Every structure is written in C-alpha cells, then in structure tokens.
Amino acid sequence: MSPARSRRWPKVLGVVVAVVVVLGIAAVLLLDRILLSQVRKQTDRLSQQLGRPVAVERVKTRLLGGVGVRVAGVSVGAGEGEDRPLATLERAEVEVNLVGALLSGGKRVTVREAVVDGLRVNVIRFPDGTTNLERVAKRLQETSAKEPAAEAPAGEQKPADLSAVRVDRAAVENARIAFLDRSVKGAEELYVDDLDVEVRDLRAGRPLEVVLKAAVLAKAQNLELRVKAAPLPPTLVPTPEQLTLKVQPIDLGPLAPFVPGEAGFRGGRFQADLAVALGAAVPGGSGRTTVKGGFRADQLAFAGQEGGKKLDAALDADLDADAEKGDLRIGKLELTAGPVGLTGHGAATGLRGDAPRVQGLEIVSRGLDLAALTAYYPPLRKQLGGNVVAGPIGLSLKGSGGQAAQSLELRVDLGPVHLSIPRQLSKAAGAPMSLVARADLAQQGGVVRFDASADLAGVDLRPGGSVAKKPGDPMSARAAGTYRKAGAEQQVELTRLDLDLLGDALAGKARVAMGGTKERPTTRFDAELSGQRLDLDRLLIPAPEGAPEPPKQAEASKPLDPKTFAGISGTASVRLGLLRMKQQDLRDVVLKVKVVEDAVTLEEARLVAFGGNVSAGGTAVKLAHPEEPFKIDVTMKGVEGEQMLALFSKRKVLGGKLDAALQLTGKGTSLDPIKQSATGSLTGDLRDGAFFGKDLVAAVAAPIASKLPFAGGRVTEGGSTSLGKQLGFAFQIANGVAKLTKPITIKTGDNALSFDGGVRLDGTLQMPTTLELGPEVIAKITGGRAKTSAPIPVTFNLSGPAWSPRLDGLALDAAVQAIAKQAATSVAGKLLGDKAGAAGADLEKQKAAAEQKARDEAQKRKQQLEEEARKKLKGLFGR
C-alpha cells in the first residue's frame, strides 16, 4: 500500500465513525421525539379521564451501557377551583439490559433499576369537607360508567408466567405527601415526608422484601414497615411471611380532617413495635406463626362518642404457634378495645401428634359487648348495619392436663346477649344459646376424642322466613367422635350425632378421611342419618298464599366450579319412618346418595306414599357440568294422582290410581335449561281417572243448547271429566314438551273423548280434542226431541293451564244443525205417523246428511287444530 493511501484510511475511518455517531445521535433524538409524542397521546386521554391537565415535559432514552428511559417533568394539574396540582414528579427512570434480553431470545429480561424520584402529592381539603382525591375518585367512577365494559376472555385464564423478568432494584425516593386544609383559614401545611420504598432482587424463586420508611408529621423518619414474602412463584404474586411495623408516637389529630368523613375520626395517638411471622396462617404459607410486641392507640376520638368516651386500644403479645405440629405457646396476650378485653397464657404442644400436652392454657374474653363498644367506637354501628348484638358474650378456651389426661374446652355463651339479625333470627337477653366443645387429647395412637353440643332453645328463627322455630322450642345438636392422623391422612369419625328439631329426634354417624397431596387433595366420606319422624310442615314456614314468585335473574347464574368438588367422594344415606311435608305422609323413606366429585347418583331412593310406592333410584346429575346430561328415572306403583300432585301444587288437576314410569335426560341444573333440554318418555296407566280442570261434556253441551232454536234441557256441570276405568298413555318428551305418541280415546258412557297433542313441562296444555256426544246427552239438551243413531262429534283445542284450561276453536254450527235436523225429523215422524211415506224418507235423508256434514266438518276442524297445536308446541322454545 502506498504511503499516500495509507494516510487516507484514518481520515476515511474517522469520517465513517463521525457519520455513525451523528446518525446515532439523530436516531436517539428521533426516538425521544417519537416516545414523547406517544406519551403525550396517553396523557391527553388520561386528562379526559381525570378532568384535570396531565403533562410530561421530557422523555429521554439512553443506549450506551444498557437501554434506559427517563421521563421528567410529569404533573397532574389542579382541577377547577384548585390552586395546587394533584401531583408532580421530577423523574422516573428505567434501565433494562437489552443485550441480555436479545441474546436470550426474550427468555431473560433484566430491569437493572426502576426509580421514581421527587414525587409530590398534594391532598387538599375544601371548605365543603371534600378532598381533591375524592373528586378524582368520583370523576373516574363517572367516566368508567360511560365506557363500555370490556368483554371477559372466554375460558379459564391461566396466570401470566413472569419468571423471565428480574428487577434488580425498584424504588420510590424522596417522596412527599402534603396535606392542606382550605376549610381553616391560615391552617398549617402538614407533611408525610422523606417517603422511601425499596424492593431489591425481585424475581421468581427468590424471597421478596419491601421496605417503607417515612417521616409522618415529623422532621425525621418515624415509621418503618418491612414486609417479607416467601420465594416468589412464576406469577410473581407474593405470599407474605413476615411483617414488622415500628412507629414512634404520632399525634394523628392534625390528619383527622383528611380522613373520609364517614369514618368520623377526630384524633388520637398511635405507636407500634410489632413483629409478625405469618407462616402457615396465610394460604400458601408454611412454618411457624409468631406475634411479638404490639401497638397502642390512645384517646381515639370519633364523632358521636357517648359522653365524651374516647377509645383506648392496645395489643401486647408474645405468641408462637406451629399449625403443622399443633403447637401453641402464649407467653402473653392482652388485647383491649375500650371496655372489651381478651387475655391469654399457657401452652399446648403436639396437638397433631401422638403425645399432646397442655400446660395451663387459657384464653378468656372480658366485657365482649358490641353494643357497649359502639359508645366508644360509633362507626361500629354502621358496620353492624341493622343487626343488634347487645350484652356480654362469654368466650373461653381452657386446657390443662397431667400424665393421665390432657383436655381442652371451648365455651361460647350467648345467653345474656340480645340478638336481632333482620330476616335471620332474634333472641331475648337471658334466653339460652350456647356452644360447648371438649377434646380429650391424652389417647394412645394419636387419637383425639371430642364432643360438642349446641343449644338454640332460646333463639327465634322465624324472622328468617324458613324455619318455624319460636323461642322455647327445642332445637339442639350434639356430636361425639374421634380425630386421628395416620401418615399424610387425617381421619375424623363421628360416632354419634344427635339432632333435636322441634321435638323430632334424628341420629347419625359419619366418617371423613382427608388426604392426597397438596396439589391433588382428596376427601372421602360415609355418612348416615335416621329417625322415626321428621315433620317438615311443622319445622318449615310455608310460603304465604298468593306470594309473588321471586324475580328471575337477568343473566344465567354462573355454573359451580368443578375445582370445588375435586377429590371428593363418598356415600350418604337417610332413613326415615315418616316424613311429613305439604300435608302428605311419606313413609319408609330410604335415600342413598353416591358422590364422585361433582357427580351425584341416587343409588337408592324409595318411599311409600300417596297410596302406593315411588322409586327414583338411578337418577344422576353433575353439579358443576351443566353441559353434561343428567338422568331422571322414576317409577310409581298404585299412586293416587291427586295426592301426589298436591305435593307440587294446591290446584287439583288429576285423580285416579296411577302406575307410571318417567325416564328423562337433559342438560342444566336449573329449571329453565332443564325445561328446554329435557328429553325422554312418560308411560303408564291411570285407573278410575278424573280430570279436575273442567267438565268437558258440560262445557260443550251448554253452548250447543243455547244455540238450538227451541228450548231444551240442560246438562248439569259436574266440575270434572271422567277418564274411564283404565287409561293407558305414552308421552314422548323433547324440547321441554311432553307429546302423546298416539291419540288416546276414552269411553265415558255413550260419549267418547279423543286427545292428541301434548303439554309443556310447566303444565300448559296444547291438545286438539274431539268429543263425540252420545244419544243420552243429546236427548238431555233437546228435551228428548232429538234421537241420534250415532254420536255427534265436536272439535276444539284444550289449551292453557291444566288446572283451568280453555276450549279454543270450539266449532258448534255443524253439530247444532245436525241436532236440529234430528229434532225436526223426530217431530215430523210423530206428526205424519204411518202416512209419512216419501216425505219421511226425505227427512231421514236430510237427517243423515246433517249428521255426515257434522262429522266431516269435525274431522276437517280436527286436522286444522292438530296442525295449529303442532306449530305451537314446536315454537314453545323457539325450535
């Protein structure tokens, strides 16, 4: 290479480098402008939502040493009539290791630092008592109400996997919250200053610690809060394990005007030195639970306090517990709130092991009277709503033991308490209501024996609208059994369960075994309950006459979650000598239910009732899978139809002895989906049957008599229609409609009824019907003037509710003409006698023609009604 050329290369290289640098700078500047433009679009949208200006002055990017973005000069301005911005921010800066993210293909994203610095928030209280924060909240609520709701994604959404994200440090530094009371002239500005929040090494698999420090109404930091969490899962959702709170004494009075008015807070002092390790006390947590130290809140003032009674509340505790081992140590427990106190001491160890020990354990309440506490803490009244809990609640847990015996006893005595829970229950002060539970722990093989009893004799449950128990009626429960832990499985056996329900005694027993793994827990059970008598008519409050049906929900209820039933299996049985409900006596009731997760099957379901036998064995449903078919299988033998239907409705519809079989499948777990999807069959025989909805013969004969050109007799209204000595029937059920597989014909004397069509599952009829009026009825309505050789048919559509149906499309003209011709022929025959000759023959022809016309028109009308019924039945559910 020549010397001249070699001298040119450095110049060329320098020019190239300069061009690259210039282009890089230009690209960065262009990127800054693009980002600032996009940020300002978002701030414009946020301004509309908040109703106040939102601005960002600068956005600056950095590419060397890692990609960084700095946003500066952020402000959320003052609203109308305000003199200070809601918030300002000096800078927010994020630095990301872009090279590492690119090299890992996005599988590792490291945020080296995310810092918010110089945040200033101004909380202003206006003369009307509201604050600027409340105005912002109201504005957001109004704007969100106008925006269309976002559609929820279909199917179950899995939590996001954020295990690729790592944050080395995230912090809020040098923040300040200022409080300005514009309702008081010359009020001093207050601060929560020097507010710092820091998180380090935030990533999956590592424990998390959040530290917050602040100077509350002080020049130096006087509040420190530390929250530690277990190693984070891939979702980065923390499970808190430890909490430490240290607060030097703070006078809260100056901040009281800024507390929401409904709290009624007026002032007080607070200090704390509390360390809590939550352990297994929180879902997903593990290990020991400890509470050390406490807090003091002195002279807390609230609006509405009676007689100037200010509230003092304090906690001083030294607790240590291990839920897995069953250990509890109470070195000290003193909790007070006004007149209410809770104290405790003692220890219990190995409660879940083979050698439990109890040493002077005692936890006792003092003055636990919520009504008395409201005098010190008036907001409790609102929290209780319309509920009244007045009087001291007795609460104690005591345990003791030596080498021979270890025992625990829990007592809850609500006898002195006046209770009034609207639409649920009430109890006068002094009426008995208590719970006593005991456990004998000193048993070999890790067995704990227990018994518990609850007495509700003094409670009035009638306000709940379901149970007809009044004060003094007996109602109690007592259970006794054992608890055992065998390996990873826990076993509970109720060897005795006694229930007294208003004098009806039930006895039972049960076994439950809980095991499996943490990911797939299992619960197996076997339970049985029996009794000589259970009177639900006495136990339950009947619905008032004419009470409106509850309004239908606008949207279908959400199906049950299959996870609720995961791992559950077992059987439960009930045997009752007599079950009385809706004034019907059901005897020898046997019910055996098999459960496999959400699948429920009636292995055995039978009873003697309504003069016969009923069985529903084989019926099955999946509670959390409404899209899967259910199965209903019911057989009835010798059942009185009127008695059986009285169980479902007070309206009389059908009478007679019934043998029937119902097989039904469909989808859904509520009534409306079942109506629409049910398919199956209903077959059987009805002996000596009667239809109580209407006397069809009289309903047809009466209008015919009124149309005859002469006065005749009348057919007495009987109120029901005979369905003959024996009536076989077969319905095919589909799309919520039970339709006859073929017409059924009934002979009642010299009359005949023929039905077709079907009935909705709600009892609405849609049945084309032909009634053939026999000579006896025709003779009655004509006063003996007309004598027919064959029945006269009349067609109509039997429609509407089965207990009060209508006769739609009743066509009578042809029948009236035929009967009138018959009457005329009879009269002419009597007048002419033997001289009738050709004239008589002509009258007979007219009579026969009229009868044939009536039959033809009836057949034609019947076909029309059948077609109309088919259309109506097909369109009942839009199908």
710 and 620 housed in the same domain? no
φ, ψ (nearest 5 deg) of residue 118: 75, 35
Reading phi first (left if > 0) and then psi (alpha if -120 to 50, else beta), residue 73 is in left
| pLDDT at residue 193 in the model | 92
pLDDT tens digits along 453-488: 999 999 999 999 999 999 999 999 999 999 887 778
| pLDDT at residue 816 in the model | 77
Mean per-residue pLDDT, 764-768: 89
With respect to residue 388, please indicate whether it lies within any of the assigned structural domains: no
- Angle among Cα 748, 751, 753 to the nearest 5 degrees reads 80
619 and 695 housed in the same domain? no
191 and 52 housed in the same domain? yes
More confident: 849 or 698: 698
| pLDDT at residue 157 in the model | 63
More confident: 551 or 721: 721
488 and 585 housed in the same domain? yes
Query: Which positions ≥6 away from 155 have C-beta within 8 Å?
Result: none
Number of domains the chain contains? 3
More confident: 243 or 109: 243
With respect to residue 616, please indicate whether it lies within any of the assigned structural domains: yes
Cβ atoms of residues 826 and 836 within 8 Å: no
Is the pLDDT confidence value at 515 over 70? yes
φ, ψ (nearest 5 deg) of residue 749: 70, -130
46 and 133 housed in the same domain? yes
With respect to residue 732, please indicate whether it lies within any of the assigned structural domains: no
Q: Which two tokens stand for residue 88?
A: 């300002």
| pLDDT at residue 554 in the model | 42
With respect to residue 826, please indicate whether it lies within any of the assigned structural domains: yes
**pTM of the complete model:** 0.75
Q: Which two tokens stand for residue 624?
A: 């959390």
φ, ψ (nearest 5 deg) of residue 187: -65, 145
Mean per-residue pLDDT, 280-297: 86
The residue assigned the tokens 């504005």 is 139
* CA–CA dist 533, 517 (Å, integer): 42
With respect to residue 667, please indicate whether it lies within any of the assigned structural domains: no
Cβ atoms of residues 743 and 713 within 8 Å: no
80 and 193 housed in the same domain? yes
Mean per-residue pLDDT, 858-868: 59
Out of 154, 178, 203, a domain closes at: 203
583 and 705 housed in the same domain? no
| pLDDT at residue 573 in the model | 96
Element (H, E) at 307: none
3: confidence class by pLDDT, cuts 50, 70, 90: low
pLDDT tens digits along 553-592: 444 456 788 888 999 999 999 999 999 988 889 999 999 9
Q: Which two tokens stand for residue 425?
A: 């229950």
26: confidence class by pLDDT, cuts 50, 70, 90: very low
848: confidence class by pLDDT, cuts 50, 70, 90: low
Which of these, 324, 351, 357, 359, lies nearest to 484 by C-alpha position? 351
151: confidence class by pLDDT, cuts 50, 70, 90: low
* CA–CA dist 825, 828 (Å, integer): 5
485 and 615 housed in the same domain? yes
128: confidence class by pLDDT, cuts 50, 70, 90: confident
State the average pLDDT for the chain.
Answer: 82
488 and 569 housed in the same domain? yes
Which residues constitute the domain of residue 783? 691-723+743-879
| pLDDT at residue 376 in the model | 94
- Angle among Cα 816, 819, 822 to the nearest 5 degrees reads 150
With respect to residue 279, please indicate whether it lies within any of the assigned structural domains: no
792 and 876 housed in the same domain? yes
Cα–Cα distances (Å) from 299 to 27, 306, 313, 380, 441, in that order, read: 63, 14, 9, 17, 44
* CA–CA dist 541, 726 (Å, integer): 39
Query: Which positions ≥6 away from 238 have C-beta within 8 Å?
Result: 208, 229, 230, 232
Q: Which two tokens stand for residue 533?
A: 């008598």
Mean per-residue pLDDT, 788-816: 84
Is the pLDDT confidence value at 868 over 50? yes
φ, ψ (nearest 5 deg) of residue 307: 60, 25
Which segment of 3-17, 228-242, 293-307, 481-495 scores lowest on mean pLDDT?
3-17
With respect to residue 713, please indicate whether it lies within any of the assigned structural domains: yes
With respect to residue 419, please indicate whether it lies within any of the assigned structural domains: no
* CA–CA dist 106, 234 (Å, integer): 15
pLDDT tens digits along 407-432: 899 999 999 999 999 999 999 999 99
48 and 194 housed in the same domain? yes
72: confidence class by pLDDT, cuts 50, 70, 90: confident
827: confidence class by pLDDT, cuts 50, 70, 90: low
Total number of residues shown for the chain: 879
The residue assigned the tokens 């989906």 is 673
593 and 700 housed in the same domain? no
